[in-house]
Amino acid sequence: MASRVLDAIPTMFLVLTLVFVAMRLLPGDPAVTLLGDHATPAQIEAMRARLGLDVPLWQQYLRFLWNALTFDFGKSFVNSQSVAAMVGLNLPYTIELTIVSTLLGTIAAIPLGVVAATHRGKTTDYVTRLFSLAGFAIPDFYLGALLLITFSLNLGWFPINGGGQGFADRMYHVFLPAIALAFIKAAFVSRLTRSSLLEVLNKDFVRTARAKGGREPRVIYRHALRNALLPVVTGLGLSILSTLSGSVAIEFIFGRPGIGSMLITGIETRDYPVIQAGIVVFAMFVVVVNLVMDVLYVFIDPRVGAVR
């Protein structure tokens, strides 16, 4: 595990460098964006100096690295708020959306995959595979817009925007956006569960468990499924990462606070500190998810830890 943490250090350094370079390659000048097209050259230069954009790029880069290491992303170019405070305000909503959608997707996906594998070639299997195909075919932002129009605008069952206050209200607000992300997640993980379980069901230890008179549910869930979980955990990790990218569009569509919404607003206004902070947070998510997946590998199969 320590080696995996050390491996994450050059990854984060590379991400920080790419973020810095990408921000400087974006078209448009933040000073002009803030002042408007009618600003004079003197006003633009004064604004660039106030924003710290008048110093050489290498100095900006070193200052950016140091600030990122100390979690000090400076102040927003637009409203002069502390970017760290903005991240602290928005991050819980993105984590909440990720956790709820992951739980909903996993709760639906694994049983669906098991049912499809144990009823291979039957109607249940075909229906499950059709569900998976639909999940792959429908973009998350399109499904989110469809759910919003149907259940919020037309039926009025769920709120149109916002993140809610208090646990119950926040779960009420997050449910519909989480369903949009969970549908795609469930489609991917259920298909992976089916294929992995089908492979394990042909193994000798499963036939031995059945020959000893083990009840079928016990054979499936106690013996076969546990040995089929490693690929599923890998797929679950990938689906969590896709949820993070999908949350950008989903938060925007549902008008939710979150890192995704903050990032879109920063891109629209060329707000370098906000954009940099948002991308760094997502990169840290990726590193943390990978570390958690490694822990789960060892928990499911201790032999993995010995190999690593």
pLDDT in tens, 48-101: 777 777 778 888 888 888 877 777 777 887 787 888 888 888 888 888 888 888
- Asked whether residue 38 carries a pLDDT value surpassing 80, the answer given is no
Q: Within the chain, what is the greatest distance between any pair of CA atoms?
A: 86
**Most confidently modeled of 13-22, 144-153, 271-280?**
144-153
pLDDT at 161: 81
* Tens digit of each residue's pLDDT (9 = 90 or more) over 140-187: 788 888 888 888 888 888 888 887 788 888 888 888 888 888 887 788
Question: Residues 212-238: what's their mean pLDDT?
Answer: 70
In this structure, are residues 225 and 295 in contact, taking their beta carbons and an 8 Å threshold? Answer: no
Question: Per-residue confidence at 223, pLDDT binned at 50, 70, 90?
Answer: low
SS3 75: strand
- What are the Cα distances from residue 169, in Å, to 14, 158, 164? 39, 11, 5
Query: pLDDT-derived band of residue 188, with 50, 70 and 90 as boundaries?
Result: confident
For residue 181, what are the β-bridge partners?
none
Contact of 253 with 141, CB cutoff 8 Å: yes
Pairwise CA distance, residues 100 & 102, whole Å: 5
> Looking at residue 303, what is its pLDDT?
54
Taking all residues of the chain, what is their mean pLDDT, rounded to a whole number? 78
pLDDT of residue 205: 67
Mean pLDDT of 220-248: 72
Residue closest to 274 by CA, chosen among 82, 62, 96: 82
pTM of the model: 0.75
What local confidence, expressed as pLDDT, does residue 307 receive?
45
Cα–Cα distance, 73 to 64 (Å, whole number): 8
**pLDDT value for 210:** 64
Are 273 and 71 in contact by the 8 Å Cβ rule? The answer is: no
Q: Helix or strand or coil: residue 2?
A: helix
Closest alpha carbon to 163 in 147, 153, 179, 174 = 174
Q: How confident is the model at residue 306 (pLDDT cuts 50, 70, 90)?
A: very low
Region 31-53: mean pLDDT is 75
pLDDT of residue 301: 59
304, pLDDT greater than 80? no
Residue 266's pLDDT is what?
83
